[in-house]
Amino acid sequence: MQKRKLGNNLEVSALGLGCMRMSFGDTPTDKAEMIAFLHAAVERGITFFDTAEVYGPFTNEELVGEALEPFKGQVVIATKFGFKHDPDKGPSPANGTDSRPEQIRRVAEASLKRLRVEAIDLFYQHRPDPNVPIEDVAGAVKELIQEGKVKHFGLSESSAEQIRRAHAVQPVTALQSEYSIWWRNIEAEILPTLEELGIGLVPYSPLGRGYLTGKVDQSTTFASSDIRSRNPRFTPQAIKANQVVVDLLARIGQEKGATPAQIALAWLLAQKPWIVPIPGSRKLERLDENNSAVNVQLTPQNLGEIRDAMSKITVVGDRY
């Protein structure tokens, strides 16, 4: 697996692995099976794993911590803080945001235990908190870095202004944000800001929550616990209307001997050398398919064809 650098000095595999659905969401999973899967990912060269306290809540960090404990020093684990805790049920996006410095510290201490590490490799603010100045957030993480409890500071879904203000207090290593061939709103302001400041980008949902694989059609149904059952891009009408995007990926893929998913990931990798997508996966064949995207070379002509085609396509449905 090729390597890439986030920020100045965080080296990770060119593709990471989003772990959320291994213990959270639509389909129950077997813990032993997921631990074996995570071990297989490491064996295949993946060194960058993404989790959060809110996934579960807590169970995803516990799973990742247990599975990756044998690989201490060989892998990078990213986790997140920033959602309000319910006294009984823990954190949830439904509770609202909470990035108060004292809460950040509490979350860090608890995540360290669940992840079974001495220091959190990459600690993201999960979402901006309108009630806490970003300077206070960056300052709290800076203290944790000085104490050796955190190695790198990250942000997620932040604006260009928030990134600049945070970076002035504590250098930001990476921004996590949705970015894919069919959701490119960050290109106007965010990408130039990251390039200027030397911050890496970690795109989540790089395969459009599975749509860009070409394996979703109008007859696909989603369980009520699956976020896609409520997502405007996954109504039968939107699925039909957006098929043109998959057709484009399939056409390029045919030339390259690659799947639509591999073209979607190769397109992201071709945008900037400091972009590290984190597709989620729970099956080895999908993991291997995704990993092979690093070997797909898109020419300037391919990229131009995709750009021109996408400029004429209007993607139907909001992302949330």
Q: Is the dihedral of CA 227, 130, 60, 178 positive or negative?
A: positive
In angstroms, the CA 59 to CA 94 distance is 18
Identify the CATH homologous superfamily for domain 3-311: NADP-dependent oxidoreductase domain (3.20.20.100)
Cis peptide, bond prior to residue 273, ω within 30 of zero? no
For 111-135, the pLDDT digits (tens) are 999 999 999 999 999 999 999 999 9
In angstroms, the CA 265 to CA 253 distance is 11
Active-site residue, selected from the candidate residues 55, 179, 204, 211? 55
In angstroms, the CA 209 to CA 231 distance is 10
Tally of CA atoms within 13 A in the half-sphere of 55 that contains its CB: 23
Contact 274, 4 (CB under 8 A): yes
In angstroms, the CA 315 to CA 192 distance is 24
pTM comes to 0.96
Has 320 been annotated as catalytic? no
pLDDT band at 227 (very low <50, low <70, confident <90, very high): confident
For 169-223, the pLDDT digits (tens) are 999 999 999 999 999 999 999 999 999 999 999 999 999 999 999 998 888 888 8
Tokens of 44: 């295949």
